[in-house]
Structure 1
Amino acid sequence: MKELSAQARWETRTQRPLLVLAVLFALAYAVPIVDSAASRLLTVACTATEWVVWGAFAADYVVRLSLTRRRGAFVRTHWMDLCAVVLPLLQPLRLLRLVATLMLVGRRARMASQIRLTTYVAGSVVGLLMFGSLAVLSVERDSPNGNIRTLGDAVWWSFTTMTTVGYGDHAPTTGLGRVLAVGLMLSGIALLGVVTANIAAWFIARFEKDDVEERRQTQAIEALTEEVRALRAEVAALSGAVAVPEPAGEDRVL
């Protein structure tokens, strides 16, 4: 139990610092893409920042693994975290580091009890739109046949793709860009399903609450009716038991 409590304390203490590092990672990822004319020094600094932040996330996973008693169960239940840690080592691409960081941030956010489902969904939508736009811009901007050249085009394409509208005015032409499109479409459908399920669950809970209140009132009315019947029966019984004596008649005296 000590090791589990130590793991919980570690996760509580590192929650905010890791979120700050995730924001720093996002900035380091976005700057070279948005500013295509960035100097080599700035690009190298952003890349180094990405790897430093990623090292912090990897170290966090190792510490959490060392603090738990059942390490095998921890690895099985946190397999997404493990994949996110191993993914950049297999193919050190900036896009893969981006996907892995999103996976880890999502896992840590879901572990925080104070984060509600609505906040998580809204953050997921904003994050996917932002990173999807930056990722497709980075892979499509230099494509000979590409038509996603600016950040505005990329953001518009991300909106239409996540909502599965697909106007067709902007579309990826590279293989990696199409993989990103598939990921955004699936993510948009999944988020829409989560939102729909959340709204349906809220209505069902509301109706159930109303039904419970109605049943409670009905039971209270029935109980009150039974009490009134019992009181009537008791009054009737008392009225029959207390007999009024008949006055002595004059004929009887005579």
Structure 2
Amino acid sequence: MAEGDKRATAHRRHRHGRGETARTRRWEAATYWPLTVIAFLFLVAYTFQVIGDLQGAWRVATLTVIRLAWVVFAVDYLVRLILSSPRPRWFRTHLFDLAVVLIPALRPVRLLGALTRITSFTRTAGSSLRAKLLIYGTGAALLLIWQTALVVLEAERRAPGASIRSFGDALWWAFCTVTTVGYGDYVPVTAAGRTFAVLLMVGGVVLVGLIVASFSSWVVERATRGHAEQQPATRADVDRIIAALNARPGDTPPHPR
């Protein structure tokens, strides 16, 4: 069996093990980009609503977009659950999809997946994975800062004794918090603001670590370039060597990637 066929077979087995069926895959393929656009519209509507402190007809318009986005994501989740088999396995392996429905702030994360799809990384499997991790890490950090700034501003701007009263203040505070600088010039005073501050601290530590690890991996690859004999073999390399050793005379050896 060709290497590409083996990878495709392994991918199908993996997805089947997650409870996904041919119908769920067709549904996901058909709805991927529409849901991505809706996630973007949700982020834009929520941003305008909070920064502009909208009232009247404009607030009704942004709230309509936000609520329609929730309905669409909820329907998408239910349809995929109904089309899956077995459903309990799909439910257990797609808890993040449920979180996206329940937590509106997670919906824009879908934009990061779209970015990795439209960006081409074709040099090596390692560089492709590293580039995707870097995009997810950097993009998730920026989304986390932006979303948290919006939520905290909405919670703090009218609270007694609050120091965060504009989006500029909230954004500055979010950057200081996620990088663990913590100047202390702006501090949330509400329970909601402090709760999101804790989430921002935890998420910031994880995401900054991911970015640093990806950058370190890139530096190591650059430093070892030209020293192929010192590079570690992957599991796929070992499998190809074993297959070549076990091949009978006259068999076609596996083609390298």
Would you call these one fold, judging by a TM-score over 0.5? Answer: yes
Q: Is the 8 A contact 2:176 2:182 kept in 1?
A: yes
Which residues of 2 match residues 83-232 of structure 1 at below 5 A? 83-85=99-101, 87=102, 97-102=103-108, 105=110, 109=113, 116-205=132-221, 210-213=226-229
The total of aligned residue pairs comes to 202
Equivalent residues of 1:146, 1:173 under 8 A apart = yes
Q: 1:205 to 1:45 in 2, by over 3 A?
A: same
Partner letter of residue 73 of structure 2? Answer: F
| Larger Rg, first or second structure (1 or 2) | 1
Residues 40 and 108, structure 2, Cα contact 8 Å, conserved in 1:
no
| Native 8 Å contact 1:30 1:134 kept in 2 | yes
Contact kept, 8 Å, 1:137 with 1:154, in 2: the verdict is: yes
Distance (Å, rounded) in 1 between the aligned partners of 2:60 and 2:186: 31
TM-score of the aligned structures, taking structure 1 as reference length: 0.70
Q: Under a length normalisation based on structure 2, what TM-score does the superposition of the two structures give?
A: 0.69
Gaps of 5+ in 1: 88-96, 216-254
The RMSD of aligned alpha carbons is 2.7
Q: Measure how far apart 1:130 and its partner are.
A: 1.4
Unaligned runs of 5+ in 2: 1-11, 120-131, 232-257
Q: Deviations over 1:79-129 (max 9, x none)?
A: 1222443x3xxxxxxxxx4334356x37x829x766622222222122112
In structure 1, distance between residues paired with 2:117 and 2:229: 29
Q: Is the 2:153–2:170 contact (alpha carbons within 8 Å) kept by the matching residues of 1?
A: yes
| Higher helix residue share | 1
Q: Compared with structure 1, are the counterparts of its residues 205 and 68 closer, same or farther at alpha carbon in structure 2 (3 Å cutoff)?
A: farther
